[in-house]
């Protein structure tokens, strides 16, 4: 009885209750979770960029951090405004044509046994590779681009306010640790620190790798004469945010388009391109960007993606691995173990 009483008053039990409350809260806010995720991602990435630029400039001239972040956001918003004004109709048209072209190929495949076998296999899948489901979801997002744009705009605005008042916000939130329910807010601070150090850093790495993959892919596809390069670049970038499986998923629509414009020869060229880029990612980008802790075995990566897609949908494919890394961090799983018993 004494052990139970001690456990109920322990730090571990307190943190467990806090975590359960957070999970219930996040589940209860529904679609607002999109706004929270966008805001966190923008705040983290822009904060890291601000820190990098500030440290570089500070070597030569003294600058104010608020001035740096303001200039970054002015440049970002101006660039987005120019791109949206000039290229939004083109991007929307290319993405719509791209999805329509892939869907048409998928629904009306050429009379080739191999292709029929692949498509029949895809129809039986219920996983992150569930092509009809995922492209249906993507098409829905495209048709509801206004709502998505509003969420992104609000997230950018909130992230700007947060970064401008970061010190003031830190001082204000620190007060909660000295009032009623102080243990709860101390636990929130603990979870927040862990979340930033694990989830945030993995998201940053995924963005860097996805951006590199997209740029290299567009260069190769342009040399091969592919149409709708802007739409393909956006598709490859977002699929590149999905660890490991993103490469496989991107191979399917790219192969369909390649077959439509150049037959088997183009498909083989796409396969070679994917192999080269995947090798670059595996042997150069991942070791350079990822820590040892985030280099999960492929089996675990796919298992995490399967479950996260089931519970979180498309978002789960992007944030599933960072959440899993966050859980490992919460469980204090060591990054490196000197002597790991070998499985016989």
165, part of any domain: yes
Q: Which residues are within 8 A (CB) of 151 and not within 5 positions of it... i.e. 6 or more apart?
A: 34, 35, 38
Q: How many CB atoms lie within 10 A of CB 316?
A: 20
Distance from C-alpha of 209 to C-alpha of 46, rounded to nearest angstrom: 17
Residue 284 belongs to what domain range? 31-330
22, part of any domain: no
Burial environment of residue 79 by CB neighbours within 10 A (0 to 12, 13 to 18, 19 or more): exposed
* Residues 135-177: tens digit of each pLDDT: 555 555 555 556 667 788 889 899 999 999 988 998 998 888 8
Distance from C-alpha of 13 to C-alpha of 73, rounded to nearest angstrom: 42
CA angle 14, 16, 20 (to 5 degrees): 120
338, part of any domain: no
84, part of any domain: yes
Burial annotation 191-204 (CB, 10 A radius, 16+ → b, else e): beeebeebbbbbbb
pLDDT of 30 above 80: no
Domain count, the chain: 1
Q: Which residues are within 8 A (CB) of 186 and not within 5 positions of it... i.e. 6 or more apart?
A: 177
* Residues 126-143: tens digit of each pLDDT: 544 455 555 555 555 555
- Cβ atoms of 244 and 298 within 8 Å: the answer is yes
CA-nearest of 170, 276, 161 to 216 is 276
Q: How many CB atoms lie within 10 A of CB 151?
A: 17
2, part of any domain: no
Dihedral of the alpha carbons of 290, 292, 293, 298, in degrees to the nearest 10: 80
296, part of any domain: yes
324, part of any domain: yes
* Residues 224-279: tens digit of each pLDDT: 888 777 777 888 888 877 776 677 777 777 887 787 777 778 888 888 888 888 77
């Amino acid at each position: 009885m004494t052990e139970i009483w001690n456990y109920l008053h322990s730090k571990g039990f307190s943190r467990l209750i806090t975590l359960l409350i957070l999970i219930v809260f996040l589940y209860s806010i529904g679609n607002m979770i999109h706004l929270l995720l966008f805001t966190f991602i923008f705040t983290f990435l822009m904060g890291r960029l601000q820190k990098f630029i500030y440290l570089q400039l500070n070597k030569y001239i003294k600058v104010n951090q608020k001035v740096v972040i303001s200039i970054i956001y002015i440049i970002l918003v101006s660039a987005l405004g120019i791109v949206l004004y000039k290229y939004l109709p083109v991007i929307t048209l290319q993405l719509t044509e791209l999805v329509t072209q892939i869907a048409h190929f998928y629904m009306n495949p050429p009379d080739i046994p191999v292709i029929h076998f692949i498509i029949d296999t895809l129809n039986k899948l219920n996983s992150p590779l569930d092509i009809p489901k995922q492209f249906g979801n993507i098409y829905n997002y495209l048709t509801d681009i206004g709502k998505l744009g509003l969420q992104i705009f609000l997230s950018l605005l909130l992230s700007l306010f947060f970064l401008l008042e970061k010190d003031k916000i830190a001082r204000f939130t620190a007060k909660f640790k000295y009032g009623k329910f102080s243990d709860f807010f101390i636990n929130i601070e603990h979870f927040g620190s862990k979340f930033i150090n694990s989830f945030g850093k993995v998201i940053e790495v995924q963005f860097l790798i996805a951006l590199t993959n997209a740029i290299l892919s567009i260069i190769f596809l342009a040399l091969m004469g592919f149409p709708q390069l802007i739409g393909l670049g956006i598709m490859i970038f977002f699929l590149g945010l999905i660890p490991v499986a993103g490469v496989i998923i991107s191979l399917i629509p790219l192969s369909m388009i390649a077959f439509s414009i150049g037959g088997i020869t183009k498909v083989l060229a796409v396969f070679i391109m994917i192999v080269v880029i995947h090798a670059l990612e595996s042997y150069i980008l991942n070791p350079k960007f990822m820590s040892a802790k985030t280099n999960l075995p492929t089996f675990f990566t796919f298992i995490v993606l399967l479950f996260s897609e089931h519970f979180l949908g498309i978002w789960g494919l992007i944030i599933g691995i960072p959440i899993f890394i966050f859980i490992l961090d919460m469980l204090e799983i060591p990054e490196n173990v000197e002597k790991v018993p070998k499985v016989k």
